[in-house]
Amino acid sequence: MTATVDDAASSSADGPTRLISHDGRGNQQISQLPYLPGLDGLRAIAVVAVMVYHANSTWLGGGYLGVEVFFVISGYLITLLLIAEHERTGTVDLKTFWIRRFRRLLPALFVMMLLLTVWVALFKADSLGKLRGDVIAGTAYVSNWYQIWTGAGYSAGSDFAPLRHLWSLAVEEQFYVIWPLVMLAFVRVGSRRIAGIARWLFLAAVAITIMVAFLNYSGPQQSPEFTPDAYWTIFGRKISIPDALYLSTLSRAGGLLLGSAFAMIWRPAAVMRGPLRHKSGFFDALAIVGFVVLGLMSWFVLFEPDQGVGFLFQGGLFVTGLATLAIIAAVTHQNAFTGRLLSLPVLLWIGTRSYGLYLYHWPIYQIIRNIAANKLALHEFVLAMVVTCIITELSYRYIETPIRKGKLGEMWKRRRAGVPIQSSLTDGQRKGAYAAASVAVLLSVFAVGSMATAELKQNDLQVSLDEQRENTCDVLVDVDCDGVDDFDADGNPIEASEVEPDAGEIGEFEPNGEAGGVVIVDDGDDPLIPEDASDSTATNDAVVPGSTAVPTTAPIPVPISKLAMGDSVMLGAAAQLSELGFTVDAVESRAWVNGLDFVMTLGEQDRLPEMLVIHLGTNGPIGQSNMDQMMTAVSTVPTVLLVTNDVDRDYTAGNNQLIYSAAAANSNVELLDWQGLAPSCPGDCLEADGFHLKPDGQIFYARLVEGALAA
């Protein structure tokens, strides 16, 4: 997103540039880097793909691969710049390099974050606490590691997350800090011998690809409860493997290394000296292959952890890098048509402003759609693009370009030296400018101060689900839903002797559900057995006088009359369903296959209810086989209610069709078409993501369930 050819001392956008130049000693510089407008065009295509994907992933499901294209371009340009500098001066000035990068990147970044902080402080103050961590991470260029650690990657879609896109800038900036130090060692072998190092960088990229494929969790990812193998446990924290592989600097270094390796063997000036200068047609054909590959991958290679990442982490990123190199080879060939095609004015405008477009578009999207997972409608996308382009142009003209060219520094020096600065502003305009600047400073101080002291709050949806969780019960662990676990996570009974009973009056019977109880002993007297205790609940074990631990057999599973089992959509209405007499077992991130395991376990325990409501299918495709197994598992349940899904996912239509068919084919199965009825909910019914329930929706949902079962 950030490496630009205007960093090169020899760059020129005003006219043709000699591809072979000499240093002051008359030596040819084969790594001389001219201005290559075709690279700006390639950058334009990449940033447009990313912006389209971020707006609505159904429009271009693999558009996020544009980031990998940027990584390859950055690796190529930065490495070639460092080699050229060493040829020109005999060294690499690290201080100047880093200052140049900081001047290029930091001003626009800081302005964007400051503007965003002001907006959030004025209009979305509850989000300031969470924004604080993102701003600190963005300032330090460690956003990718922060998101990995906090679980705030792109797969976490329920938050207002206006700085989530900074992960890729963090990867590049970390590369800019480390890579010049590495190159300082490499260039000492000489520019002609450095080509031999390219093979090792290429092999390193291959090794990273193999490592990522080996570490990848390829199945659908849910919460740690359901897919523990999809997470690493680091210092007690669950780290999503797909998010870590997508965001971490090491796992995403492959594209940067491919670009760097290519820079060592493919230098535009050297190419035009050799026989390859006559092979422009071949490289144009190679570019066509590269564009076809990128186009196909952008259409088909999706990043959907809830369905399994697949090819992306099994060589997909590597193939993207190779396709990008094929296009770079043509773009940097002076006689190839590809470079001229990618130099169209509109592409040059977008490409030269790609950093600003990337920087500003995501916060603007988030302001429009409120949470990360929502997809923009076409009219919202058009509005977002207009606003993004205007802000980007202002940033490019009045922030990025003046600072990059040192004009603000010169102005500051002249002011300190007492040299008058000529201005075309009238006195009135000058006063207006001072007033506007004063307001801006006051707003900035207010916003930053508010963010620094803001309370860290969960989003409204998470707060609601946490409250509703108190109305649910894991019936496989807590058989009588009394708040005391009767079985451990492996299904082993927890003996009452392992539990310290609550203090009570001597000889008092403390009920423990419908199937049994805990007997408290009175100074060695015989235990007081309740009249309704069955023989199976009595204990023949000896009781030690004075002991507080009472031996007993494992609890007998309690029959459930009415059971509602589902995911976070049902969880939102847990309290309302409980009021209707349902035992509610609803868990976030539960997929159909997890619900199938749940029902089969109940069947094995002979605990299937008389009435069962199933609302699953939000968190991944169902599949015909899983539906058939579910229908077999619930065939003995007198009444089963299947609820369709109203969620914007590409698998929703298929899931609902399976539910329709199952209800039609099984006499004990009823259907509640939530997808068809949800839009008719009166009041403010749905959360910002469009499918979780607000209070009005919770009441409506529970009434529909009650009505469907009463019909």
What's the topology of domain 466-473+560-710?
A: Rossmann fold (3.40.50)
Count helices and strands in the chain by DSSP H and E runs: 27, 11
Cβ distance 570 to 698 under 8 Å? no
Please tell me the pTM assigned to this model: 0.84
Q: Tell me what pLDDT residue 528 has.
A: 37
Q: Tell me what pLDDT residue 10 has.
A: 33
Residue ranges of the alpha helices (H) in 454-590? Answer: 460-468, 568-571, 574-579
Q: Break the chain down into helix, strand, coil percent, rounded to 5.
A: 55, 5, 40
Displacement of CA 295 from its chain's centroid (Å):
22
Distance in angstroms between the alpha carbons of the first and the last residue of the chain: 59
Residue ranges of the alpha helices (H) in 405-457? Answer: 407-416, 427-453
The size of the chain, in residues, is 711
User: Do the strands 639-643 and 611-615 form a parallel or antiparallel pair, or are they unpaired?
Assistant: parallel
In terms of Cα–Cα distance, which of 550, 510, 516, 520 is closest to 533? 516
In terms of Cα–Cα distance, which of 493, 535, 492, 499 is closest to 518? 499
What whole-number distance in Å separates Cα of residue 122 and Cα of residue 651?
38
User: Do the strands 237-240 and 231-234 form a parallel or antiparallel pair, or are they unpaired?
Assistant: antiparallel
User: Do the strands 669-672 and 231-234 form a parallel or antiparallel pair, or are they unpaired?
Assistant: unpaired
Which H or E run includes 40?
helix 37-55
Residue 379's CB: how many other CB atoms inside 10 A?
8
Cβ distance 521 to 512 under 8 Å? no
Tokens coding 485: 């676990």
Q: Tell me what pLDDT residue 424 has.
A: 64
How far is the CA of 252 from the CAs of 84, 138, 206, 318, 627, in angstroms? 26, 18, 12, 10, 38
Residue ranges of the alpha helices (H) in 455-571? Answer: 460-468, 568-571
SS (H, E, C) 123-167: HCHHHHHHHHHHHHHHHCCCHHHHHHHHCCCCCCCCCCCCCCCHH
Q: Tell me what pLDDT residue 181 has.
A: 93
DSSP string, 48-108: HHHHHHHH-TTT-TTGGGHHHHHHHHHHHHHHHHHHHHHHHHSS--HHHHHHHHHHHHHHH
DSSP string, 613-674: EEE--TTS---HHHHHHHHHHTTT-SEEEEE------TTHHHHHHHHHHHHHH-TTEEEE-H
In order along the chain (711 residues), what is the average pLDDT of each group of 10 residues? 45 36 48 81 97 95 96 96 87 90 93 96 93 96 95 76 95 96 84 84 97 90 88 93 94 97 90 85 96 95 78 94 97 92 96 97 95 90 97 94 78 66 68 84 94 89 90 88 77 61 40 38 42 41 44 62 95 96 94 94 92 95 96 96 93 96 96 95 91 95 94 73
Q: Cα torsion for 365, 371, 372, 376, to the nearest 10°?
A: -50
Cβ distance 475 to 602 under 8 Å? yes
Any idea which residue has 């190092």 for tokens?
Answer: 197
In terms of Cα–Cα distance, which of 53, 15, 11 is closest to 34? 11
Cβ distance 128 to 451 under 8 Å? yes
Tokens coding 117: 């902080």
Any idea which residue has 């202002």 for tokens?
Answer: 394
The DSSP code for 397 is I
SS (H, E, C) 329-381: HHHCCCCCHHHHHCCCHHHHHHHHCHHHHHHHHHHHHHHHHCCCCCCCCHHHH
DSSP string, 266-329: --HHHHTTSGGGG-HHHHHHHHHHHHHHHHHHHHH----TTT--GGGGTTHHHHHHHHHHHHHH
What whole-number distance in Å separates Cα of residue 17 and Cα of residue 19?
6
Tokens coding 190: 């000489």
What whole-number distance in Å separates Cα of residue 246 and Cα of residue 127?
25
Cβ distance 148 to 239 under 8 Å? yes
Burial class (CB in 10 A: 0-12, 13-18, 19+), 357: buried
Any idea which residue has 């409501």 for tokens?
Answer: 613
The dihedral sign for the CA sequence 534, 536, 538, 540? positive
Cβ distance 498 to 554 under 8 Å? no
- Who contacts 357 (Cβ-Cβ below 8 Å, separation ≥6)? 47, 51, 350, 388, 389, 392
**Domain map (residue ranges) of the chain:** 5-407, 466-473+560-710, 499-557
Burial class (CB in 10 A: 0-12, 13-18, 19+), 670: middle
